[in-house]
Structure 1
Amino acid sequence: MALENSTLRVSVSEKGEEPAPPVIFDAPPPKAPTTNQNRSLQDKMAAREAQANQPRKKVQGAGQERGRFGWGRSKRKRQRYVEKNGRCNVQHGNTGTYRYLTDIFTTLVDLNWRCSLFVFVMAYAITWLFFGAIWYLIAYCRGDLDHLEDVAWTPCVNNLNSFISAFLFSIETETTIGYGHRVITDQCPVGTMLLLLQAILGSMVNAFMVGCMFVKISQPNKRAETLVFSRNAVISLRDDKLCLMFRIGDLRSSHIVGANMRAKLIKSKQTQEGEFIPLDQTDISVGFETGDDRLFLVSPLVIAHEIDCRSAFWDMSQAQLEKDDFEIVVILEGMVEATGMTCQARSSYLAEEVLWGHRFSPMMSLAEGFFDVDYGAFHHSFEVDTPSCSAHELALATARREAHLYWSISSRLDEENRLDEEEKWDPPPPMVDQSVKTTTTTTSSPVTNDGEGRGGDDDGGDANDEPMTATTFVVGGVLNDAIGEQNGSVALTSQSESEA
């Protein structure tokens, strides 16, 4: 089967027969190739077959990465509750502006510097313009502007001949500059009352605005810029217990007085009644019971949270960490030594920013007369041998091992006690000395053939009578005259008789 330009020709031939004339089918004209597709149909089919014969690879989904245990970890950036710089990523809506106006001082302090400077300038400018307009209105109503050249006329304010001069007089009055060219006279009681009012209101504006700027300049949150947290948190063993750790340091030589550390776990939760809590806060203990949360922050410290049965990470393993979604918010509070104001520094760690099986690198060394801290290694960590199971499973394994050891020791002690009791009732045989002593005893009593030893006859007995010789082997220091064994000691006696 062959495809040509405009016709499809099929030729059929059988063995032993003449080839039949080819049958020609008029084929429709080929479609125009699509854009960027100039290959023939055979090339496309061949490429498609080759692609089908290739082993399929698991295509990793867009925006996902594989963890150590193969769990798909989403690379979608989680919306942080607290940014790394400590700013809370929360915006309040439908609150009503009147609530902010009731606390105008705090509202002005919380504004950014651009808005604060604009409010500062506008407060003075509007006050000057307002009182300048009133001074000009008084001069216009009294007719001082119509008697500028009249020497006999006593105006309310000398040398006030326009709005600009009234504005300048307002500035001189409120700022107590007093150049002496424009001055109020005693023929204007309304001007005297306005002068008192402007002096009082001007002092209030000065106190309010200068106070706002002073508080904003000395705000303790700027002190938090020199309190740094480690880029990642780590989980590893400390004293055979899994611990969640992060590092904190102070870059200034002036210390934070009464530094206190707190940590919160931010995670979605669904109650047993079906209520969904999107940002549930759970406390993470960093030594509140033992007092370790009160820090002496002179050098960088590693803050540790022991994962025990009361911890929120009790059942979390390394595989669970790779697919979980949570945020850890850490908060440092203390008083600034220079100003005495309370300071708070914040940071947060997402689930992908918690490194399992890592430990922070040391950064302190002893120099000549002082301790040298290298902040270049502040964020550095290295891998250590850490079990990948959860703290719960690790505690169960430790309990099983200790229980097995306890029962083994108890069994051995019981066996030893049983043997001791048996030894009390059935004492062991005495120790046998390896040395064998041989003792030879010679007696003068004749021994007769009947085996009874008695005295000789009157005739003196047989001429062949010989004295009896007994050989006794003493083993272990025990002497036995009888033949046999008794309590592990062996006695052997040999006798020789002489014929009477």
Structure 2
Amino acid sequence: MRKEVQRRIVSKDGHNKVRIDNVEGMVKLYLHDIWTTVVDMKWRYKLTLFASTFVMTWFIFGVFFYFIGMGNGDFDVEHNSTHVPCLMNVETLTGAFLFSLESQTTIGYGFRYISEECPLAIFTLVAQLVITGLAEIFVTGAFLAKLARPKKRAETIKFSKEAVICRHQGRRCLMVRVANMRKSLLIQCQLTGKLLRSYVTEEGEMTQIHQSSVDFCMDSSGECPFLILPLTFYHVIDERSPLAGLTADNLKTRDFELLITLNATMESTAATCQSRTSYVPQEVLWGYEFMPVLFCTTGGRYVADFNFFDKVQVCNDPALNVEKK
């Protein structure tokens, strides 16, 4: 029997899995916002762009200098003794390329240089330094911007592989566990959820993906928690919840995706980072609760043991256990 492929909009590691097709003028749109396009490039393309920017500008202006020398007659076999070349000691395209490289990188060996009798070569040199300087600033800036993106910090935020449904303070709740994998604090943490599912309006119109807000909170009176320890966020399943009507029997047959987003501010840079994950019905466990992950050593120190981060155990609520059966 062929296993049905589970469709997802967001992967477990937070990447968008929706493919965009048949967009007219896609290349033009990407070139219109060239900065974002370059910053979002994969590293292999960015490194290629970084290297090719230097090599291509060296070669292009080397060709310009070669044609300037050719137009001035510097490469003629026979010329009079009063002839002054535009580029001294440049007789081939390779020499022109080396002169362009030495000028742009400010090496300045002194063997190849521009004579005072060739204004066009002087103008080309000035244009090269201005144009390539701007290009290098752009590419280097995009390179550094990608290195400093908060996206990398978000990769050190860990979500539990599965969500659980159990009772918390007498109410039926859906719970997820979140942890910060670095010692540096994440402050002003806010966990939000979106329930993605198909929906039929009162007029009978079918909506393929309908988004409903799923509110998560903690036992901190709504205050923004410090994500210094693994924390468990919960959503109360009541009549106002988008998950109202969810039971142990229909959980596995329901078609939905729960998108979880954590927004936080990094203590070290004050930049905002965002981390995402999603849960499908097969990843929601009914009648289970998370096992303790925080322990105290004999020396009086707290230890977060991540061997227990994703582990669950059957809860003690008889009502939920009866529903599960």
Q: Give a deviation string over 1:200-221, Cα, whole Å, max 9, x none.
A: 0011011011011111122221
Residue 88 of structure 1, CA deviation: 0.8
Within the alignment, does 1:135 sit opposite 2:79 as a pair? Answer: no
In the alignment, what sits opposite 1:306? 236
In the alignment, what sits opposite 2:287? 357
Q: Secondary structure at the match of 1:144?
A: coil
Residue 126 of structure 1, CA deviation: 1.6
In the alignment, what sits opposite 1:244? 174
Tell me the distance in 1 between the aligned counterparts of 2:322 and 2:72: 90
Q: Secondary structure at the match of 1:105?
A: helix
Within the alignment, does 1:261 sit opposite 2:185 as a pair? Answer: no
Q: Secondary structure at the match of 2:295?
A: strand
Consecutive unaligned residues of structure 1, counting only runs of 5 or more, are 1-61, 64-74, 392-500
Q: Give a deviation string over 1:375-424, Cα, whole Å, max 9, x none.
A: 11000010013324999xxxxxxxxxxxxxxxxxxxxxxxxxxxxxxxxx
CA contact (8 A) 2:187 2:224 kept: no
In the alignment, what sits opposite 1:22? none
Q: Secondary structure at the match of 1:318?
A: coil
Are residues 103 and 150 of structure 1, via their aligned partners in 2, closer, same or farther at CA, if it must alter by over 3 Å? same
Q: Give a deviation string over 1:331-366, Cα, whole Å, max 9, x none.
A: 011233334432111101110110011010001112
2:311 corresponds to which of 360, 366, 380: 380
Q: Give a deviation string over 1:232-262, Cα, whole Å, max 9, x none.
A: 1000011111000010001111122322211
Q: Secondary structure at the match of 2:114?
A: coil
CA contact (8 A) 2:257 2:280 kept: yes
Within the alignment, does 1:226 sit opposite 2:129 as a pair? Answer: no
Tell me the distance in 1 between the aligned counterparts of 2:30 and 2:223: 35
Consecutive unaligned residues of structure 2, counting only runs of 5 or more, are none
Tell me the distance in 1 between the aligned counterparts of 2:171 and 2:270: 39
Tell me the distance in 2 between the aligned counterparts of 1:285 and 1:152: 86
Tell me the distance in 1 between the aligned counterparts of 2:262 and 2:322: 28
Percent sequence identity over aligned pairs: 35
1:271 corresponds to which of 172, 191, 201: 201
Within the alignment, does 1:81 sit opposite 2:12 as a pair? Answer: no
| Amino acid paired to 2:190 | N
Q: Which of the two has higher C-alpha Rg?
A: 1
Tell me the distance in 1 between the aligned counterparts of 2:87 and 2:161: 67
Tell me the distance in 2 between the aligned counterparts of 1:229 and 1:241: 23
Tell me the distance in 1 between the aligned counterparts of 2:314 and 2:211: 30
2:302 corresponds to which of 371, 379, 396: 371
In the alignment, what sits opposite 1:115? 45
In the alignment, what sits opposite 2:20? 92
In the alignment, what sits opposite 2:114? 184
CA contact (8 A) 1:261 1:293 kept: no
CA contact (8 A) 1:256 1:335 kept: yes
CA contact (8 A) 2:194 2:260 kept: yes
Q: Secondary structure at the match of 2:199?
A: strand
Q: CA RMSD in A?
A: 2.2
1:214 corresponds to which of 129, 135, 144: 144
Residue 319 of structure 1, CA deviation: 1.0
Q: Secondary structure at the match of 2:75?
A: helix
Are residues 325 and 298 of structure 1, via their aligned partners in 2, closer, same or farther at CA, if it must alter by over 3 Å? same
Tell me the distance in 1 between the aligned counterparts of 2:46 and 2:78: 42
Within the alignment, does 1:280 sit opposite 2:210 as a pair? Answer: yes
Under a length normalisation based on structure 2, what TM-score does the superposition of the two structures give?
0.92
CA contact (8 A) 1:261 1:294 kept: no
Q: Secondary structure at the match of 2:155?
A: helix
CA contact (8 A) 1:233 1:349 kept: yes
2:262 corresponds to which of 315, 332, 335: 332
Structure 1, 147-156 or 212-221: larger mean CA deviation: 147-156
Are residues 238 and 371 of structure 1, via their aligned partners in 2, closer, same or farther at CA, if it must alter by over 3 Å? same
More contact order relative to length (CA 8 Å, sep ≥ 6):
2
Q: Give a deviation string over 1:48-94, Cα, whole Å, max 9, x none.
A: xxxxxxxxxxxxxx35xxxxxxxxxxx52311110001111012122
CA contact (8 A) 1:257 1:334 kept: yes
| Amino acid paired to 2:309 | F
In the alignment, what sits opposite 1:468? none
Residue 370 of structure 1, CA deviation: 2.3
Q: Secondary structure at the match of 2:142?
A: helix
Q: Secondary structure at the match of 1:210?
A: helix
Tell me the distance in 1 between the aligned counterparts of 2:78 and 2:252: 87
Are residues 291 and 384 of structure 1, via their aligned partners in 2, closer, same or farther at CA, if it must alter by over 3 Å? closer
Q: Give a deviation string over 1:127-173, Cα, whole Å, max 9, x none.
A: 11110000000000001112688654321111111100100111111
Q: Secondary structure at the match of 1:334?
A: strand
Q: How does 1:333-482 map to 2 (within 5 A)?
A: 333-367=263-297, 368-386=299-317, 387-388=319-320
In the alignment, what sits opposite 1:428? none
Q: Give a deviation string over 1:13-58, Cα, whole Å, max 9, x none.
A: xxxxxxxxxxxxxxxxxxxxxxxxxxxxxxxxxxxxxxxxxxxxxx
| Amino acid paired to 2:61 | F
